[in-house]
Amino acid sequence: RERGRPWFDRQTMLILAFACWSGLSVLWSHTLIPALHFLATMTQIAFFWVLMRGLVRTRGALRTVSISFLAGTLLAVAASIAFPRWSIGPRMIYARGNPNHLARDIVISLILLMYFIPKWRPSRRAIGIAVGVMLVFSLALTQSRACWAAAAICLPILFLRRGGVRSAGALVGMTFGAIVLLGMGVFAARLGITPRLLQARGRSMFVPAVIRGSRAEIWRAGLSIAWAHPVLGVGAGNFIRHMPEAVERMEYFSHPHARLAAHNSFIDAFAELGVIGLALLAAVLIECFRGLKGQPPGTEKMLAWSLLLFATIRMIFATSHYQKSIWFALVLSQIVIARGIFRPEIEEALADETD
C-alpha cells in the first residue's frame, strides 16, 4: 500500500480469484473461443482494478479520471446521433450496439457530474449543468427502463447528508424527474411507445399466458441451467449455448431468439462458473459494501453509495460482470472512501515528489 504501488487488499484478491476461476473454467468449457474471450476480459478488469487502486490517490487524479470517462460518454452520445443504424429519429435508440450500454455509461457520468458540479466555479458550473441536461435527454432516448429506475434511486443519494437533504439537491432531483418525464412524453411517438405497446408490456409482467421471453422467464431458464451444473457450471461464455435446450422445457417461453443472455450477473455466474464463481462475485460486492461501514458522513461517502448501488442494480438486471464500466463504478466507489488518500498533507507530499 505504499504510494504509487499497486493496492492488493481483500477486494483485489477476491477479484483476482474470480478472474482465475473464470480462466480455469476453460478446462471444462465445450466452446473455447467464448471462454477465452471472457478470460481475457476478466484479466483486463483485474489489472485495471489494481492499477486504479494504486494510481488514483489524489482529488486531482480522481477528477481527471472522472472527466475522461464523462468525455468518452459524450463522444458515444455524439456517435449515436451521427451514425444511426437507420435514418429515422430520434437516433439514440437506433444507434449501433446495445442502447442499454450507453444508458449505463450515461448514469455513471451523471453521478460523477453531480458530485463535481458544486465544487466548480460558476462559469464551469453552468457548462456542467448544460451537459447534465443533455445527458438526461440522451438517457430518456435510450428507452432503458432499468437505467431510468437506477438513476432515480442513485442520483438523489448524492444530496443526502447528516441533518437532512440539501435544498439544492432536492431542486435538482425534482428537475431531473421533470426533464425525464418531459422527454418521455415529447419523444414517445418517435420512439414507438404507444398506448397499445404500454398495455402489452404491462400485461407481460403479470399474465403468464403473454410472457414471451421476459426477464423473469429468462432468469428461470438460467437457474435451470445452473442447477443442472451446480459445482463447476457450464464454463465461461457458454450460457447462450445452453439457453435453447433450457427454454424448450418451459411452457410459456416462446421468444423467437432463444439464444439469450442471462440479464442477471449472479444467475450468469452461477450457471457458467458454478457455486464457487457465484460466491466469489458476491464476495466482491459484499467487501465493497463493507468498505463503506464506519466511514464518516460526507459527499464522498454518498458518491460511493451512489456508484456502488448503481453497479449492483445493473448486475441484477443485466449481465454486467464482464462490462468494464461496471467495474469502473465499483473501483471508484472504493477509491473515494479510502482512508487518508485525500488528506491535504498527503496530496502536498505527492505533489512535492512529483516536483
Higher per-residue confidence, 99 vs 72:
72
The predicted structure's pLDDT at residue 184: 56
pTM score of the predicted model: 0.80
The mean predicted confidence, pLDDT, of the chain is 76
* Rounded Cα–Cα distance for residues 117 and 127 (Å): 9
The region of weakest confidence among 35-39, 278-282, 316-320, 343-347 is: 343-347
DSSP letters along 229-273, please?
STTT-S-TT-HHHHHHHHHTT-SS---S------S-HHHHHHHHH
Instruction: Answer whether residue 244 shows pLDDT above 80.
Output: no
- Condensed to tens digits (0 to 9), the pLDDT of residues 163-217 reads 555 555 555 665 666 566 555 555 544 445 555 555 555 554 444 443 445 677 7
Residue that wins the pLDDT comparison between 241 and 91 = 241
Q: How far is Cα of residue 234 from the mean position of the Cα atoms in its chain?
A: 25
* Most confident range, picked from 149-153, 293-297, 336-340: 149-153
Cα distance between residue 331 and residue 52, in whole Å: 7
3-state secondary structure of 161: strand
pLDDT, residue 346, reads: 44
Q: Do strands 160-161 and 164-165 pair parallel, antiparallel, or not at all (unpaired)?
A: antiparallel
- Whether 284 has a pLDDT exceeding 90, the answer reads yes
